[in-house]
Amino acid sequence: MNPQSRLPRIAAYVPARIASKRLPRNALRQFGDKPLVLHALDALSSSGVVQRAEVNTESEEIASVIESAGGRVYRRDAKLAADSVSTEEILADYVRQLPCSYDIVAAVNPTSPLLRPETIRRFFSEMDRRAADTAFSVTLLQKHCLLDGKPVNYTIDGAHPSTAEIMPIQMINWAITAWRLPLARERVEERGSSLYLGSVAFIPLPCQEAFDIDTIEEFEIAEAVWRYRQDIQSSPLCRKHADDSVA
């Protein structure tokens, strides 16, 4: 964190709706040992840098599951339940009710359940280091990319560059997005909503952790990765390594 300032106070929400066109009821679908939406909430709560972590939903069914697990819920208006409702509208609604004692407001994608608490810590540390007003998590794609049939990050003139030689493309993955609260509140009052506020930072995340679930196939891939993690962590070799590190 910036040594010239106190640690920022962070309020973060996980937006979740019961209806989903691509993967019905995905927020409550069992993912590993708990419903999908709880993975993001638990990662926030375990990060050690977020003072207020909650699920932002209009669904009493989702709210009941979260509260039964000991989590916090912000109940938004039912009119914000439609698929057509934008990220900006949900942010604007949340910012209006958030106390001024917080410095940063953030949203964490409920469909990125592989996100680790330590990655969340690094994200906010990097946002502070860059003195950014807005921060988006991105995935670096070091591939030969085209737009309308034209190369974006390489040239067709001369020798064809190898993958290792080309510039990575930054793709916003929406796993974590954060804004300075005073500026976000000011823009909400001026315009109703806005995502790109002031100086903007694009912060890379590990590709696996930013994996976004939109389909049943992606759900199965992510769950397989999650189960592999659990197997590795519970292996005798991994436990011995942890014991050696403590000794």
**Element of type H or E holding 189:** helix 181-191
Across 131-158, b (16+ Cβ under 10 Å) vs e yields ebbbbbbbbbeeeebeeeeeeebbeeee
87-97 and 181-191 are packed helices; what angle lies between their axes, rounded to 10 degrees? 110
Cα distances (Å, whole numbers) of residue 197 to 64, 106, 143, 181: 34, 13, 29, 10
The pLDDT of 215-235, averaged and rounded, is: 91
pLDDT at 192: 63
- Is residue 76 within 8 A of residue 57, CB to CB? The reply is yes
Q: Note the pTM of the prediction, 2 decimals.
A: 0.88
26: pLDDT strictly greater than 60: yes
> Tens digit of pLDDT for each residue in 34-73?
999 999 999 999 999 999 999 999 999 999 999 999 999 9
243: pLDDT strictly greater than 60: no
Give the residue from 170, 44, 66, 60 showing the smallest Cα distance to 113: 44
**Element of type H or E holding 140:** strand 134-141
Residue 82 DSSP symbol: S
Give the residues across from 139 on adjacent strands: 171
